[in-house]
Amino acid sequence: MNPSETNETPATGASLIDQIRTKLTDRKQAWSRAGRAITGATAPRTQRLPPGQRLVTDWPVLDLGIQPDVAKSSFSLTIDGAVEHPVTLDWHALMALPQETSVSDMHCVTTWSRYDNHWQGVAITTILDLVRPRAEASHVLFNAYDDYTTNLRLDQVATNDSYLVHSWQGQPISRQHGGPLRVLVPRYYLWKSAKWIRRITIATADHPGFWETRGYNNNADPWLEERYS
Ligand SMILES: Nc1nc2c(c(=O)[nH]1)N[C@H]1C(S)=C(S)[C@@H](COP(=O)(O)O)O[C@H]1N2
Ligand SMILES: [Mo]
């Protein structure tokens, strides 16, 4: 990975955060304009490593430069929008839902992939069953505690490998990786998996998120190498 993409810069003031944000955003937008890391190849689903990706064994950190400190005691997740039964869950309510384990690979648009991640959390299908999307619902917008947003179609998240996860390799997910709770939609590049999730809005139209409005591909399938638009 590009080490300058990690966020290890302490937040000392709004102007510094703004500077970091602008720097990271500008670089990624430049990559997207340049079509960085596009190999032009597509790979069949049977090929575990998507085209243009390389395997890592660590877990790089990438975000906008703000890593919100979300305590479980003040955690709240709202699922609303085009649903029959909008809910706001505190940590206790979330943990009272069926907890599942899952193993999946993750693929970042910056070209690293990491295999065999052991996750624990609540299936997104469990959440959808709880809120009951209305017939006209078609998309999902994820909104995080750092104001990051990302969007997917409802059918892209209503899969048996999509979760709201709180544990990785048997341990609570660290703050830098989006703890206490992040989204995990492993079939798509990792920017679709919002860290520090705060709100999930079910929508009747597509609302492109932070990177999707800055040159990233709306669909984000690693095997089709849908990096940029
Ligand atoms: N809330 C939030 N979620 C986010 C981001 C972010 O800036 N804020 N960055 C996205 C991007 S661009 C990537 S590549 C992955 C990185 O997740 P990781 O830091 O756990 O590897 O998180 C995604 N989720
Ligand atoms: Mo990213």
For 193-217, what is each residue's pLDDT tens digit?
Answer: 999 999 999 999 999 999 999 999 9
Task: Find which of 12-21, 39-48, 102-111 is predicted with most confidence, using mean pLDDT.
Answer: 102-111
What domain range includes position 184? 16-224
Residue 99: per-residue pLDDT? 98
Residue 88: per-residue pLDDT? 98
* Residue 229 located in a structural domain: no
* Residue 159 located in a structural domain: yes
Q: Cα(192)–Cα(18) distance, rounded to whole angstroms?
A: 22
* Better-scored residue on pLDDT, 175 or 41: 175
* Residue 8 located in a structural domain: no
**Separation of 30 CA from ligand 2 center, angstroms?**
13
What ligand has the least distance to the C-alpha of 192? 1
Nearest to 214 by CA among 32, 82, 72: 32
* Residue 59 located in a structural domain: yes
Q: What are the CA-CA distances from residue 91 to residues 72, 122, 148, 199 (Å)?
A: 6, 12, 21, 14
* Residue 1 located in a structural domain: no
* Residue 210 located in a structural domain: yes
* Residue 7 located in a structural domain: no
Q: Cα(64)–Cα(134) distance, rounded to whole angstroms?
A: 33
Number of domains in the chain: 1
For 159-170, what is each residue's pLDDT tens digit?
Answer: 999 999 999 999
pLDDT-derived band at 56, boundaries 50, 70, 90:
very high
| Domain containing residue 76: CATH number | 3.90.420.10
- Residue at token pair 């139209």: 205
Q: Is 148 in the pocket of ligand 1 (CB under 6 A)?
A: yes
* Residue 11 located in a structural domain: no
